[in-house]
Structure 1
Amino acid sequence: MANAASGMALDDECKLKFLELKAKRTYRFIVYKIEEKQKQVIVDKVGEPTETYDDFTASLPADECRYAVYDFDFVTPENCQKSKIFFIAWSPDTSRVRNKMIYASSKDRFKRELDGIQVELQATDPSEMGLDVFKSRAN
């Protein structure tokens, strides 16, 4: 089903991988990419559970937009081990205006397809999604 705003469809694998992350913790993160020619959102990269936050940030291109989902593990002040699923809209300042517009207009519908997102972050440079930001938004 295409997104009315931007005409982007959602590849079935996008939801499937997200459900595996949510239910089975099969992945640490998933990076999604919009394929303009096919007019659909596809899975660009998945991170194994052993991969780190640095692996995640390294998988985001410096000059292109992406959507990403990150399974963030943390310990609460009460010393409980928890995790939250973050949705990141990565839109670096250096990306093309058209690229930013397509991602911005497709984001809400894409996010609605991924049921179980707990926190949303919008980032234009790595400092806006540092580990300190994750920690402050998780609690």
Structure 2
Amino acid sequence: MATIGVNVSEECRKSFMEMKWKRVHRFVVYKIDERSRAVTVDKVGAPGAGYEDLAASLPDDDCRYAVYDFDFVTVDNCPRSKIFFITWAPSASRIRAKMLYATLKEGLRRVLEGVHYDMQATDPTEMGIDVIRSRAR
């Protein structure tokens, strides 16, 4: 599936839809192949995986995209689920990688229909579980 300037593999859309509708993944991490400019699935988290597993799957020195299915209970005691799209660009990553991920982000976002919140993070504190909890209301 090609969108403007980026080739998003069918596996990307499929894994997102499996997470969203079938709930067979807790999160999906995507990476870009710099030569082909193709977005592919890097890792998936099992349904029982937690936020810590997502954070641990992101490299310290390279960029990634991730979607995370966050379950919570509202003040009215209603169970809810919100999907977060995270652009991970740590300080230690190369400038070229940061630019590429920033440029191709919208192409992937168009394919992933149903994301509730969009976040950018350069270190783990910017995407901590407390930050996610505060946004999911």
Normalised by the length of structure 2, the TM-score is 0.96
Aligned length: 137
Matched residue, 1:58: 56
Q: Which runs of 5+ in 1 are unaligned?
A: none
Q: Answer yes or no: is the 8 Å Cα contact 1:65–1:92 preserved in 2.
A: yes
Q: Deviations over 1:26-73 (max 9, x none)?
A: 100000000112320000000000111111100000110000000001
Normalised by the length of structure 1, the TM-score is 0.95
CA drift at 1:93: 1.0
Matched residue, 2:129: 131
Q: Which runs of 5+ in 2 are unaligned?
A: none
Q: Answer yes or no: is the 8 Å Cα contact 1:3–1:106 preserved in 2.
A: no
Q: Answer yes or no: is the 8 Å Cα contact 1:85–1:119 preserved in 2.
A: yes
Matched residue, 1:43: 41
CA distance in 1, matches of 2:129, 2:76: 20
Q: How do 1:113-128 residues align onto structure 2 when only pairs under 5 Å count?
A: 113-128=111-126
SS across alignment from 1:50: coil
95, 103, 106: which one aligns with 2:104 = 106
Q: What is the percent sequence identity of the aligned residues?
A: 56
Letter paired with 1:121: M
Matched residue, 2:88: 90
SS across alignment from 1:120: strand
Letter paired with 2:42: D
Q: Answer yes or no: is the 8 Å Cα contact 2:6–2:107 preserved in 1.
A: no
